[in-house]
Amino acid sequence: TYNPLPLKLPAAIIDNGSGLCKAGISGEQAPRAVVATVVGYPKSKAIMFGPIQRESYVGKEAQAKRGILSFKYPVEHGIVTSWDDMEKIWRYIYRHGLRIRARERPVLLTEAPLNPPANREKMTEIMFEHFQVPAMFVGLQALMALYASARTTGLVLDSGDGVTLAVPIYKGHCLLHAISRMNFAGRDITRYLATLLLESGHNFLSSAEKEIVKDIKENLCYVALDPGHQKHKGLVHKYTLPDGNPVKIDENQLFRAPESLFKPSEAGTPAPGIHQMILDSISKCDGNVHESIWRNVIVAGGSTLFPGLRERLLKELQALAPCGILAKVDAPEDRMYSVWIGASVLTSLASFKDMWVTRQEYREVGSTVLQKKCF
């Protein structure tokens, strides 16, 4: 029998990222749980049958035991590549992050635009069959980020850990034909920084040491307004390793790593930079929407947090914008979570209740049911 009660409760919202899953409850201002999208498995049977008998660890728990575990990252470039591991992360989120039963509330999950339809269908199947959710919806990440900034028209440059997208949106609709997508993002910047550090004799190649490189990236790297001018300053930074030893890092490496967002070819990825992606996307849109999109460029995702990124992007876009059009770039303070926040806002609107795909509809149509209702 169909029970309409769960649809009246605020929904669970899970923003599935390649690097982090952000989860919380609709109507709240920030996610309750931020879980690293990683599952760790014991490297040897001896560990598995030791004093703590566990087959796997999720998120921070896995990262804390990185020496004895091998890691699986179930989301690569925004696409789920291991459903078993993804399911473990969702179970962990419901049990420890949200502390609610999946069957008690509808759930909104997010995904990157231009993902293969099979990704969405499998997600639908797992949520209805394994988690027994009463209803669900899949939201496009860029659209959610735009809603978080209280706009319905603009272009979202969303760069996280696995994928970077330029997504033009007009009156609440993603202009799918005009999206630029690049499989180069935070994880690749970290890898490139490790290569740069190797050139100066710092070897950070194990999975534990990759976390150190990520930490250097998040705390010391920045985007230079004029990289050519910056190169000749020759400054050196001190960084303290987890074991207490200091290392010296050349300033050049600190801005060269994120410079790869503007010149991915420097990091070995033949692709246009983020400023060029934005230009390519706008040029594929209808001429009469160009100006409103140029004036509403929004950056979202963890890889847009580098100091100096907004200023540099604005400088590049102003050089590319047609004569007489002023480019504007908005970098909201909470842009790490803007996709989640937008989904929280969207699901709390009274008009949204008709958007849910119910278990009843799933039973009638099957896993393709979300292709019709979610955009």
| pLDDT single digits (tens) 221-271 | 999 999 988 766 678 888 888 778 888 899 899 999 999 999 999 999 999
Asked if pLDDT for residue 51 goes beyond 60, the answer is no
What confidence score (pLDDT) does residue 61 get?
92
What confidence score (pLDDT) does residue 67 get?
79
What confidence score (pLDDT) does residue 4 get?
61
**One CATH from 3.40.50.2300, 2.60.120.380, 3.40.50.300, 3.90.640.10 for 186-264:** 3.90.640.10
| pLDDT single digits (tens) 96-109 | 999 999 999 999 99
Section 307-320 average pLDDT: 98
Strands 20-25 and 12-16: antiparallel
Domain with CATH 3.90.640.10 in the chain: 186-264
Reported as half-sphere exposure (CB side, CA atoms, 13 A), residue 189 has a value of 33
Euclidean distance between CA atoms 96 and 38, whole angstroms: 15
What confidence score (pLDDT) does residue 374 get?
62
What confidence score (pLDDT) does residue 63 get?
87
| pLDDT single digits (tens) 75-90 | 999 999 999 999 999 9
- The end-to-end CA distance of the chain, in Å, is 29
Superfamily of domain 147-184+272-330: ATPase, nucleotide binding domain (3.30.420.40)
In the three-class reduction of DSSP (H, G, I as helix; E, B as strand; rest coil), residue 33 is classed as strand
SS3 content of the chain, % helix, strand, coil (to 5): 45, 20, 35
Please name which of 87, 31, 33, 89 lies closest in space to residue 57, comparing C-alpha atoms: 89
Strand partners of residue 164: 159, 182
5-37+73-140+339-373: which CATH architecture? 2-Layer Sandwich (3.30)
Section 189-199 average pLDDT: 95
Domain with CATH 3.30.420.40 in the chain: 5-37+73-140+339-373, 147-184+272-330
What confidence score (pLDDT) does residue 201 get?
86
Asked if pLDDT for residue 372 goes beyond 70, the answer is no
User: For residue 206, what are its two tokens?
Assistant: 């194990």
What confidence score (pLDDT) does residue 373 get?
63
